[in-house]
Structure 1
Amino acid sequence: MKIARTGQVILFGLLMNFAIGAHAQNDVSSSPTPMASSGAATSSKAADRALRRRVLTALGKAKGLRATGITVRAHDGAVLLEGWVPEQAQIGLASQVAEGVQGVTSVKNTLTLSTF
């Protein structure tokens, strides 16, 4: 009799725990705020990736620029150029090319000179 009562108490506790957990999940998932911010973040990341690709494409097509050592990061229109180029003149050229890409609002150039 005591074992049956203990089993009932444990079963009741498990059911309550499950019910409370399910209710808490429903409250969070029904809220429009987390979903909206997640969608905005995804959209922003996609825009950053697209801008990064456009800058890389422009750098790759630029005459007189060896872009194989250049890494591009983009965030909300701000572009960061990192890496190396083989000639001093290419550092400035990379900035000019990146600034000419549609959607770029600023360029920070941290390229270094390397003769590998």
Structure 2
Amino acid sequence: MKIIRTGQLMIGVAALGVALHAHAQADASAAAGASAAVSASSGSKASSRSADRALRRRILTALAKEKGMRASGITVRATNGDVLLEGWVPEQAQIEQATRVAQGVQGVKSVRNTLTLSTF
């Protein structure tokens, strides 16, 4: 009788162990899936920021190379191809010139120019 009782108890413990192991694996895989989704989302944000920085550098380089353009007072902000030009230039003609130069850079979708005229 004791042997039967002990056998039943051992079978019950084994079944409980298997059930807990299966439950733990399901929780781990769900957590891994959620972690992968968060990682992919932050990865796309990081690559988007990297692309924005690269576009900003290309625009600043193009402005600096442009003949007759004084780009030292210009700040460029880029977000997903949308560009904002801020700051100042010493001549009125350079305001429109800066817009044309930025529009000519590959990857630019739109340009908003808020440059002002300053003789400093």
What TM-score bracket applies, with the shorter chain setting the length?
0.7 to 0.9
Match of 1:20 in 2: none
Matched, 1:37 2:41: yes
Instruction: Report 1:45-56 matches (<5 A).
Output: 45-56=49-60
Please list the CA deviations of residues 9-56 of structure 1 after superposition, one character each: whole Å capped at 9, or x if unmatched.
xxxxxxxxxxxxxx89x9378632100001000000000000000000
Identical-residue share of aligned pairs (%): 68
Worse-superposed segment, 92-101 or 31-40 = 31-40
Match of 1:58 in 2: 62
Q: TM-score, normalised by structure 2?
A: 0.72
Instruction: Report 1:77-92 matches (<5 A).
Output: 77-92=81-96
Match of 1:108 in 2: 112
In structure 2, C-alpha distance between the alignment counterparts of 1:30 and 1:115, rounded to whole Å = 55
In structure 2, C-alpha distance between the alignment counterparts of 1:85 and 1:28, rounded to whole Å = 52
- Name the count of aligned residue pairs: 93
Give the number of the structure whose alpha-carbon radius of gyration is greater: 2
Q: TM-score, normalised by structure 1?
A: 0.75
Runs of 4 or more above 3 Å deviation: none
Q: Which runs of no fewer than 5 residues in structure 2 stay unpaired?
A: 1-26
In structure 1, C-alpha distance between the alignment counterparts of 2:71 and 2:36, rounded to whole Å = 43
CA RMSD of aligned residues (A): 1.9
